[in-house]
Amino acid sequence: MIGSLVATAFWAMLPAYVPNNAAVLAGGGRPIDGGREWRGARVLGDGKTWRGTAVGTLVGVLLALALNRLATPAGAALGVDLPTFALPAAFALAFGAMCGDIGASFLKRRSGRERGAAFPGLDQLDFVVGALAAVFVVDTDWALAVFTPSVLAVVLVMTPVLHVVTNVGAYALGLKNEPW
Ligand code: CTP
Ligand code: K
Ligand code: MG
């Protein structure tokens, strides 16, 4: 029971988990805010770039399309009915995750935090809130069917754990400047 909830939650959120990590690898180039400031601080900061956002979104969508081909065999192996992703849902999960992260940077700059500063809680859940909000708007029926209250509960508990583990790992590998 809990195993199938975790499998479903992880599978359904993968197109939202991967974009942020892809952006870390792809980031650089022009910042989205173009260097502009608002009320004495950068609007978003140099950590939110056009390239990172575009590549992150693309990687999330491509991953969802790859998962669609694996859903049947992987589901059979696990004994779980794993969901597939229509293109709008895939895009909403990936781009919504990137937008949640961008929104968090906006809030960090407003609260005087420099680029790279930690904001515990927000850092671990910003992209989840963005991805879920977007997919519930874009593909409501699919989202209601996949993200039942118990799957949502697993997502909210599991995501911060995965976030901490992947970011500490990326920091240890020298891919990320901070371990959060
Ligand atoms: N990145 C990017 N574009 C995004 C998100 C991330 O280019 N939309 C890249 C940037 O190189 C960024 C790195 O991924 O520095 C790590 O992402 P994150 O930790 O979200 O950014 P920070 O640099 O920590 O900046 P902030 O304080 O605004 O979160
Ligand atoms: K972040
Ligand atoms: Mg950071």
Whether residue 49 is contained in a domain is answered as yes
In sequence order, the 6+-apart residues with CB closer than 8 A to the CB of 41 are 109, 110, 112
Residue nearest to ligand 1 atom 12, measured at CA: 47
Average pLDDT over residues 16-42: 97
pLDDT digits (tens, 9 = 90+) for 139-168: 999 999 999 999 999 999 999 999 999 999
pLDDT at residue 86 greater than cutoff 90: yes
Whether residue 31 is contained in a domain is answered as yes
Q: State the DSSP code for 82.
A: P
Beta bridge partners of 49: 31
% residues pLDDT > 90 (the chain)? 99
Which ligand is closest to the CA of 175, given by its number?
1
Regarding the beta carbon of 122 and ligand 1, being less than 6 Å apart is answered no
% residues pLDDT > 70 (the chain)? 100
pLDDT at residue 1 greater than cutoff 90: no
Whether residue 154 is contained in a domain is answered as yes
Whether residue 9 is contained in a domain is answered as yes
Beta bridge partners of 38: 41
CB–CB of 104/122 below 8 Å?
Answer: yes
pLDDT at residue 27 greater than cutoff 90: no
Give the pLDDT score at 73.
Answer: 98
pLDDT at residue 176 greater than cutoff 90: yes
pLDDT at residue 127 greater than cutoff 90: yes
CA distance 31 to 33: 5
Whether residue 180 is contained in a domain is answered as no
Whether residue 66 is contained in a domain is answered as yes
Give the pLDDT score at 50.
Answer: 98
Calculate how far, in angstroms, residue 24's C-alpha sits from the geometric centre of ligand 1.
6
Regarding the beta carbon of 19 and ligand 1, being less than 6 Å apart is answered no
ipTM above 0.95, yes or no: yes
How many domains are there within the chain?
Answer: 1
pLDDT at residue 122 greater than cutoff 90: yes
Domain that holds residue 63: 2-172
Whether residue 177 is contained in a domain is answered as no
Whether residue 178 is contained in a domain is answered as no
Tokens of 85: 């992703």
Pocket perturbation via mutation, ligand 1, pick of 30, 49, 119 by most ligand atoms within 8 A of CB: 49
